Amino acid sequence: MPHVNWLAVLAAALASFVLGGVWYSALFSKAWQAAAGLSDADVAGGNKALMFGGAFVLSLAQSAVFAMFLGPNPAPMLGVGAGFAAGLCWVAAGLGITYIFERRSPKLFLINGGYATLQFTAIGAILGFWH
């Protein structure tokens, strides 16, 4: 198993989780809700502990695997560049392909793909700059 800086992984996961909170509440709350076809009741409902706990665990998995991908002690700009490329060209592009066939709105794609791009850029930056 490759060397992983678990403190950096934890910091990257926390940053990803917080960014998601800001992105989907303060910045794009109503636009995302409308594009996703969610009512106020849909957004207010559900098991919040399960949703937020699951989101954090998945952010932790993303950060850990990306740390393994980058390897030990990646150059800071490698982390930023690889994070940006992974977010835009792997995650957002993958969402885009799915959204085309599901006939989802371009607005939803831009919101979700934009988050993925910024999320992985932040994860890569933290992993790259943390030594």
Give the alpha-carbon dihedral of 78, 84, 89, 94, to 10 degrees.
Answer: 130
Alpha helices in the chain (DSSP H): 6-21, 29-36, 40-44, 48-70, 76-85, 93-102, 106-129
Distance of CA 95 to the CA centre of its chain: 12
Residues 6+ apart with CB under 8 A from 7: 130
Residues 6+ apart with CB under 8 A from 36: 108
pLDDT number for residue 3 = 87
pLDDT number for residue 1 = 56
- Contact in structure between 125 and 76 (CB atoms under 8 Å): yes
On whether the pTM is more than 0.85, the answer is yes
Question: What pLDDT digit, counting tens, does each position of 29-52 carry?
Answer: 999 999 999 999 999 999 999 999
Compute how many other C-beta atoms are within 10 angstroms of the C-beta atom of residue 42.
11
Compute how many other C-beta atoms are within 10 angstroms of the C-beta atom of residue 83.
27
